[in-house]
Amino acid sequence: MIIKNLSKLAVNPIRRDALLIAEAGYEAIEINRLFQNVCSLQQKKLCIGMHEFNLEGYKNIYIIGLGKGSARATRSILKTIPTSMVKAGAVIDIERLWLGKIKSFKGTHPLPSEKNIVATNEIIKILSRANKDDLVITIICGGGSSLICRPSGNLTCTDLQVVGDHLLKSGADITEMNTIRKHLSEIHGGFLAKYAYPAQVLSLIVSDVPGNKIDMVASGPTVRDTTSIADAEGLAKKHGLGNLNFVETPKDPKYFEKVHNIILASGETALYAMKTKAVELGYIPKVYSKSLNGFAKNVGPQMAKSVTRNTALLACGETQVHVTHPGKGGRNQDVALSSMPFLPENSAVISCASDGKDNIPVAGGIVDDDFSVWKIEQIDADPTKAVELNQSYITLKRIQGIFKIRKVTANISDFIVVLRK
């Protein structure tokens, strides 16, 4: 089981079924399994789904990985392609692994640090060695907006930390955040593709962005950016950031003519697996949203009110939280806890972070209309007030509503299960 305390949380049938459906979502995005299912080598051709790349046509292969899960994804790729062809590479993730020729860096997330800048400079140095006869394989995962970091102009790492922290707490959505980030960076918004030019670039993307906007995943390091300085300035004003020294992203089409961006997995990968499991357990699966957004405290009640009998209401996406108090929690914990007062009879809600970290080192929350209500009455707590005070973690922990995962899974946004018998 990937959900660490599944058996302990499954105190009644409805919770057990909801947990098993969420477990199916996690299993579908377990990194080794994901890459083994999608990537293969056939007669020296690297096959990625329906795409084929003849590796004999390249002099050298360079591998670059960035984002949460990219180190394990790189390890999987190295088991697929001939390592003799791999010249060099570098990966930055929230964990450091032994990857042979590939340098592995452990960076910080959700805010950048000097460690991230050091790793990014090494990535750029390696890319400068690639020429027109080479192939650069980039593995791009969610979290790359912070993990790779090269401040533009006279900006410092501290400047980016202040901006990032403000945006995380302001309720900005991922598209707004990454539009601003692109124009404060010399690695995002297509800059990585510019550094790799004129080499061929194969970009393997694990999308954590609602709607799979690849120019927003990790702030689009290999994608031609469609946003402008004016867009970033407007968003900065909207979120109270004041005047920032924005820079323009690369717009020359030549940097992107030899770039192939392929989405390997997304929230829909988990959704498909959860739908299959729901049918197996006797429920009618219904997709509430494939690109969920909005404030967590509103999404929980809305989905609880929408579920009908014998239905598994499923969603993937990313909600927002407006942090106004020094509490402890995360958007998934808020979704689960905020749904409690609106749960119909014989129902349960699970909201979880695909990478197992919902702001803090927990995957998410689970509540139901029976056990959870009984537990919260015992401690005399108000779920709505707890969410308002940014205290969802301590409340869920006290009512046995917190869970963690055992394995590193792909970061494909959050997913939600609302179940009703």
Q: Report percent pLDDT > 90 for the chain.
A: 90
243-252: per-residue pLDDT in tens?
A: 899 999 999 9
Tokens representing residue 222 in the block: 């290999």
Domain covering 43-265, topology: Rossmann fold (3.40.50)
Nearest to 249 by CA among 174, 195, 287, 327: 195
Tell me, what's the pLDDT at 170?
87
Per-residue CA distances from 382 to 138, 340, 372, 387 (Å):
47, 10, 12, 9
Please, are residues 399 and 376 in contact by the beta-carbon 8 Å criterion? yes
Tokens representing residue 75 in the block: 């390890």
**What distance in Å separates the CA atoms of residue 328 and residue 361, rounded to the nearest whole number?**
11
Tell me, what's the pLDDT at 46?
94
175-218: per-residue pLDDT in tens?
A: 999 999 999 999 999 999 999 999 999 999 999 998 899 999 99
244: number of CA atoms within 13 Å, CB side?
32
Of the given ranges (42-51, 59-68, 361-370), which has the lowest mean pLDDT? 42-51
What's the whole-number average pLDDT of the chain? 95
Average pLDDT (340-351) is 98
Q: Report percent pLDDT > 70 for the chain.
A: 100
> Taking 80 as the threshold, does the pLDDT of residue 408 lie above it?
no
Average pLDDT (35-44) is 89
What are phi and psi for residue 179, nearest 5 degrees?
A: -65, -45
Per-residue CA distances from 42 to 39, 61, 81, 82 (Å):
10, 17, 10, 11
Dihedral over Cα of 169, 175, 178, 184: its sign: negative
Per-residue CA distances from 8 to 34, 283, 365 (Å):
28, 23, 14
Predicted model pTM: 0.91
In angstroms, the first-to-last Cα distance of the chain is 24
Q: Where are the domains of the chain?
A: 6-29+269-420, 43-265
> Taking 90 as the threshold, does the pLDDT of residue 99 lie above it?
yes
**What distance in Å separates the CA atoms of residue 40 and residue 221, rounded to the nearest whole number?**
25
The confidence band for 389, taking pLDDT boundaries of 50, 70 and 90, is: very high
Task: Identify the CATH homologous superfamily for domain 6-29+269-420.
Answer: MOFRL domain (3.40.1480.10)
